A and B are shown apart, each in its own frame.
Chain A
Amino acid sequence: MKNPLLPLKAVITEIKLETKDVKTYSLFLENSSYSAKPGQFNMIGYPGAGEAPISLSSIVSDGRFQHTVRAVGRVTEFIERFGKGDEIYLRGPYGSCWPLEDALGRDVILVAGGVGVAPLRPVIQEILNKRESFGKVTLIYGSRSPDSILFMDEIDVWRKDIEVLLTVDEVRPHIKWEYDVGFVTGLIDKATLDPVKTFAFICGPEIMMLFVSRGLYLRGFFPSRVYVSLERRMKCGIAHCGHCQHGSKFVCKDGPVFLYSEVTKLPDGLL
């Protein structure tokens, strides 16, 4: 019987430094039928350091995919020391995905905060691959400062096909910044959206997702089309270890992508 706790060995084929503490790791799983949908995550780690749940930051093609990781915990700080050619251990993919198929033929608004843009990047890639299948697509992306914006070089490419609105919390003197300053909620008011035909996918700090979801509700979005992705402590990823439970939900299995309306009333800091 297949042991769901047994990890696979993946090779790091490339590492890109995104910001001073965020890196994008390109991984390759040999001889693998591995596939994942946008929004799903892997338990990634290394023996001795443990495992942590990290969303894929790219779509998968022929066993190749990416993770964009901020080094902030035991596992992620350990992995940060790795180089090209090193091996990493992972299992997955786990969890629910952004409902892109439901959004076919509709408008989509993506709202990202900080490193929360990473789980939305596969959505953008998938949309760009079949751009004509979707209506108006808008990415609203907020971060702390201009130098913490991820995927800046790609954003310039994305702009050709989708609308991108950027904002940061603050800009220090003498730093060049030609976009907005302020919360992402401010940008939502600026965007031209048709609430009746738009799906919203939101990923970022919980407080941001709360205000964005409420803001979209107020603009007339259908609650059945406003999705968020949650971050929780997880040890197993397979609805056994119990750490990510809220109410009757296992965030690892029933989520991490939820309708905002599904989780808003659950106890303990859920939005």
Chain B
Amino acid sequence: MTGESVFRSSNFLIPKDSFFNFIDALKSEYQIFGPVKERNQAVFKELSSSADLFMEYQTTMLSPGKMFIYKPTEDILKFRTGSTLSVEEVIPEIGKQVIVGIHPCDLNAILYLDRTFLGTFVDPYYKARRENTILIGLNCIQVSENCFCSSVGAGPHLRAQSGYDMVLTDFSEDYLVELKSSRASEIFKVKGKEAGPDEWKLKSVKEETLLKSFKKVIDITGIDDLFMRNLDHPVWVTTADERCLSCSNCVMVCPTCFCYDIVDEMSMNLKEIKRFRQIDACQDLRFAEVHGGNYRLRRASRLRQFVIHNLNYTGQYGATKTVGCGRCITWCPTKIDLTDIAKEIQRSPVH
């Protein structure tokens, strides 16, 4: 997003300790977020120091992009009542922040959100946070049960070359640090060994090994047409009627679901009206309701909307919405798996 396509990447091998010292040094100027171990899980939260970091984490429940850049709720306008009504923009105070240790799926998810909020119309709230956030990616070292990023080109190693600042690859004692923006090279003054052919070779061996350990794989070639021909496939109704609770967990944990609702709230003394937005879900019955009808009255059509929007709709932004993080599968109370639905249609298309 920062138009850095001309930036020439530089790459170093840095002892992990040096990298963590670099993070700690940033603390004076930046708010720093990263993966932290909490009981049996990892969550993205503010670090008090790099010692909090849990860099070997598996997928978190919530993605950092939808916690620190696109906020789940956000005040947008304030109206004051009185003799005349006044309108005030709520521009959030946004300090500089760093998110460290973002898995490729979640980094690609931020690049996807950019397509919505920095597209034809620019969302000033998203843009302000996005510009003030340094993104440090972390290539994966393991594959979780529901990961299928390799099937949609979103992992396990980051392929994108711009739109973020740095990406790390775990080299046991060291990190291979790739600098991807000019602001990254400005702040990253750590001296290290310049990466050469050996390092690149080792990196691709690591990726190839990882690629072999994916349990969930789906071939999405031609899936757009297949879905459009099979909108009446029985799998939609069967899965929806027998298993879907319309609980919206899938949407809430999805790192790329961008839909929001706008709500006006009057203060108790009637002097102020707050207009805020909050994440909305296509699984909600009222989501597609208009006067005189509801375009997705049936649960099956709402489930279908989620699945098709994620795996297909390449026409929308020229990229699949899903980044293969598998969260919607992990957090579905009835373990509905969008890749299973797609495979069922691939196996037995009705048209």
Contact = CB atoms under 8 A, between A and B. Distances in A.
Interface in A126-140: none
Nearest to B275: A47
Contacts of B127: 1
Contacts of B228: 247, 265, 267
A173 interface: no
B85 A242 contact: no
B243 to A, nearest CB: 20
A243 B116 CA distance: 13
B288 interface: yes
Contact of A3 (B124, B293, B296, B316): B124
Nearest to B289: A233
A206 B293 CA distance: 10
A238 interface: yes
Nearest to A1: B124
Contacts of B275: 47
B93 interface: no
Interface string A219-259: 00000000000011101101111110111100001000000
Nearest to A51: B262
B100 interface: no
B315 A232 contact: no
B295 A232 contact: yes
A238 to B, nearest CB: 4
Question: Which has the most chain A C-beta neighbours within 10 Å: B85, B89, B295?
Answer: B295
Contacts of A89: 87
Contacts of B212: none
B123 A240 contact: yes
A268 interface: yes
A240 B77 contact: no
B288 to A, nearest CB: 6
Nearest to B81: A47
A29 B183 CA distance: 44
Contacts of B259: 241-243
Q: How large is the interface on A (under 10, 10 to 19, 20 to 34, 35 or more residues)?
A: 35 or more
B231 A267 contact: yes
Given A6-B89, A243-B287, A253 B295 contact: no
Contacts of B273: 47-48
Contacts of A239: 116, 119-121
A191 interface: no
Contacts of B119: 239
A48 B264 contact: yes
Interface stretch (B138-146, B190-198, B302-310): B302-310
A152 interface: no
A73 B89 contact: no
Interface string B78-100: 01000001010100000000000
Given A5-B76, A241-B261, A268-B296, A48 B287 contact: no
B258 A240 contact: yes
Contacts of B277: 235, 241
A4 B113 CA distance: 17
Given A239-B116, A240-B117, 10 more contacts: A3-B89, A231-B290, A235-B260, A239-B121, A241-B261, A242-B280, A243-B280, A243-B287, A247-B228, A269-B296
The 3 closest A-B pairs by CB, nearest first: A242-B259, A248-B315, A238-B121
26 contacts: A1-B122, A3-B76, A47-B79, A72-B291, A87-B85, A89-B87, A232-B288, A233-B289, A235-B277, A236-B260, A236-B262, A238-B120, A239-B116, A239-B119, A239-B121, A241-B262, A243-B280, A243-B287, A247-B308, A247-B313, A247-B315, A248-B313, A248-B315, A267-B228, A267-B301, A267-B305
Interface of B: 76-77, 79, 85, 87, 89, 116-117, 119-124, 127, 228, 231, 258-264, 266, 273, 275, 277, 280, 282, 287-293, 295-296, 301, 304-305, 308-309, 313-316
